[in-house]
Structures are given as C-alpha cells and as structure tokens.
A = this chain, B = another copy of it.
Amino acid sequence: MSDQPAMRPLRVAVLGCGVVGSAVVRLLTETSADLAARVGRPLELVGVGVRRAGRNRTASGIDEALFTTDSHDLVTRADLVVEVIGGIEPARSLILRAMEHGASVVTANKALLAEDGPTLYAAAAQHGVDLYYEAAVAGAIPLLRPLRESLAGDSVRRVLGIVNGTTNYVLDKMDSSGAGFSEAVEQAQALGYAEADPTADVEGFDAAAKAAILASLAFHTRVRGSDVHREGITEVSATDVQSAKDMDCVVKLLAICERTTDASGLEGVSVRVHPALIPRSHPLAGVREAFNAVFVEADAAGQLMFYGRGAGGDPTASAVLGDLVAVARHRVLGGRGPGESTYADLPILPMGDCVTRYHISLDVADRPGVLAQVASAFAEHDVSIETVRQQLRPASAPGGEHGAVLVIVTHRAPDAALSATVAALSELPVVREVASVLRVEGM
C-alpha cells in the first residue's frame, strides 16, 4: 500500500502457468513500465496459482515465492485475475470466487465460455466487474473486440472462420504434400502443432466452442457449444483433397455462423463446424499452416477479414494482456466493458434447414444406366446437380471388379434434403459406397 492511493498498484493474479500462463507472467514483468504508462497505474503480480507445488519452476524465471497451490485464497487478494487454466473446473469456481471478491477477470477459456458463459456474465454484472476473453477465440487476432464494439452499429450477417490451428496445419499438409490424414497428424504432432491426443482439435470440439462464442457476440443471442452442429476432419481423405484440387478448391475446417431464415421464413441463427471445400480464390484459402483467419460479412461494412496466429504462448498472451490493460483502465478511470448482449434472442435453426452446396463422391458399378439411377435419387429429393465427373477405377482397387467413381457437386439445397438423398443413394444396388460428402462454401 502506498501513501498515494491513486498510485497503489493494481494487484494481478494469474491462474495457471502452462505455455500461456508463463508467457503472460514473463510479459507482465518485461513490459511493466509500458503497461503502467498505458493503464495509468502500475500492475503488480501478487501470485501465480498452480495445481502442484514442488515442480521445478526455476527455468521459468518467475520468482518462486509467487507460486501458490492455494488459488482459492489467491483470487481474494487480487484486483484483476487472469485465468489460463482451461477446462470447466476448477476454472469456473475460481472465476466466480474472484468476481465475488470484486476482481475483474480476463480468461482464455473457450470451453467454459461455450458451456456456461451466461453464469460468468451474470456474476460479472452482479458484482460490477469486467469479464474479458479476447484470447478465447483466434489467439492473438483482435476479433472479439471488433465484433462486440467496432461492429456494434452494424448487423453481422455471417462469420466464416478458420479458428483451429491444428486442423488447418493438418489440412494444409494434406493439400501441399498429398499426405493422408494420419500421416499429416503425425507431422503436426512432431512439430508441436497437435497434442498427443488430438481429439479436441480434429473432431472439431475446439472450433465448435469458438463458433458458439462468435455466434453469441455476432447475433446478440445465447449460443452454447451444444447448439453447434459439429463434424471433424478425421474422415477427410487424400482423395477428397485431390478432388478439391481438381475443382480449384481447398478443404478447410470452417466455423460458420449465419443469420438466416428457415423454409417457413423464420429468422434464426445457424452455427456449424465442418470441413468444406472453398475456392482457392477465397481469401481464407490462402491461410496456411497453423494460422487462423476469420471472415465477417456485415450489412453496412461488407466483407472484412482478420488474420493472425491463433495459438502459442506469446500470441495468446498478447490478447490476454490487451484485455488486462482494458479492465485495469476501467479500475483507474471508471466504466465497464460490454456485458452479455442477448436482446435479439434468435432461435437456433436445426441443421436440416441449413442451405449450402455439396460435393459427393460415390463408388459405383461401371454399368450403363448408373448415372440415370443416381440422378433420379437426387431429383426425387429436389437436390439439383451442378456438375458430375466420372473417373474409371482400376480393377486392382479394393472391390475386385471394374468400377467407377462419380463426383457430384450440387446447387444449394437444405441439409435435410441432402441427407435424405444420401440415404437413398446408399440403398441403390449400383452404389457400392458413398465415399464422402463434403460441403462447398464461400462461392
């Protein structure tokens, strides 16, 4: 405590000291003079909450005395709390306890926000504190502040994003080297772009949580992770990637949030995560390796794109510290950041109502009349075919006898109609296998 209360440092607690937490702590120390000048008061790190004591933490360069396993106590001694533990518990309890004790919270926890964001918002409102989470989606890319604030006078129509670096790295490798999925995942793991258990990334759980957060902000409507239709990239084959190339397209895992209307004209929100073909001329097609990018379409602004690093210690810490400066400035100058905005309260439209285009690969018998039967199945479900490409399959391929591959691209159709078409195709004796169904976006 100082004799000049106005210059009393703001006390900062950091919960979690993994890749992001240690970067936050390091940058807090290295740039303390800049941060103090920007906030108008010094920031003082009062503790770093960790799960286990006794680990060798000297390598981190952080003063050993700052570490504590009692995060429950630590959050009561801070004005500002940074939560970078991740996961639901104990992160949620610690955040709520911090707010009860009057601390503003900065978090990078997309899973918690997607599952239980409203509880955190309600606690922030009740205790008159801030909840900021720029780092939860697309790491270093300033994206949530633009959505929440810069576009606050506009109407967002659509958000189309590459928000998971691991899957983008895997798909980019498959595209550039022709590698299969497993091989590309192994490369990503060797380079640290994928975890030993890559499920959360490759099955789209991580992207779905981020899509829920983006849709909530874009459409002023509560969207949870469980509202998001989710398909991962494990079924994407080298053949699919090559077929995309033949169409001058690339396969990307997209998070898509749309304000749209269903068949009855009801306005609602469609939120989904799935692999999709996009044209190579689309700005998102050029997003390579583990980079992230998000394309936003708004009524007045038109098309916007935000590009940068979506993960990593320093990039994520940049977003965390930007938020920390914002909530610290509110302590110094008064005011508060935006709270939860759900006034539009649009319904979440079922996936069956989602209208887009499709790329379907069928393994068929090489017999006259096959195409006619296949085309009839599409016509019966009102799905209009745009192009058909037929490739002969060598006899040596699995299946023994001669066959062919039909690659069909449709015009726009509802997902329910496409699903019914695929079910009907599977029943056709001439169709040996529906090898893949991928959506086509960004045209």
In the bound complex, how far is the Cα of B140 from the Cα of A298, in angstroms? Answer: 10
Contact: B150 with A142, CB < 8 Å? yes
The 0/1 profile, CB within 8 Å of B marked 1, for residues 149-164 of chain A is 1111111000000000
Interface centre among A152, A155, A305, A312 (most CB of B within 10 A): A152
Distance (Å) between the CB of A342 and the closest chain B CB? 10
Q: Could you say which of B140, B150, B298 contacts A301, with CB atoms under 8 Å apart? A: B140
Cα A303 to Cα B318 in complex, Å, equals 12
As for how many copies of this chain the complex holds, the number is 2
Q: Are A140 and B315 in contact (CB under 8 A)?
A: no
Give Cα A249 to B406, complex, Å: 41
A397 at the interface (CB under 8 A from B): no
Interface size on A, residues (CB 8 A): 58
Contacts of A308 in B (CB 8 A): 301-305
A53 CB–B CB distance under 8 Å: no
Which residues of A, 249-303, contact B by the 8 Å Cβ criterion?
Answer: 283, 286, 298-303
Residues of B within 8 A of A300 (CB): 23, 27, 140, 314-315, 317-318, 321
Given contacts A307-B283, A333-B336, A335-B333, are A38 and B302 in contact (CB under 8 A)?
Answer: no
CA A341 to CA B305, docked complex, whole Å: 27
List, sorted by A's number, 9 A–B pairs whose CB atoms are closer than 8 Å: A27-B300, A38-B220, A141-B304, A142-B142, A145-B145, A150-B322, A152-B326, A299-B314, A305-B305
Contact surface of A with B, Cβ cutoff 8 Å: 23, 27, 31, 34-35, 37-38, 134, 140-142, 145-146, 149-155, 220, 283, 286, 298-309, 312, 314-315, 317-326, 329-330, 333-336, 338, 341, 343-344
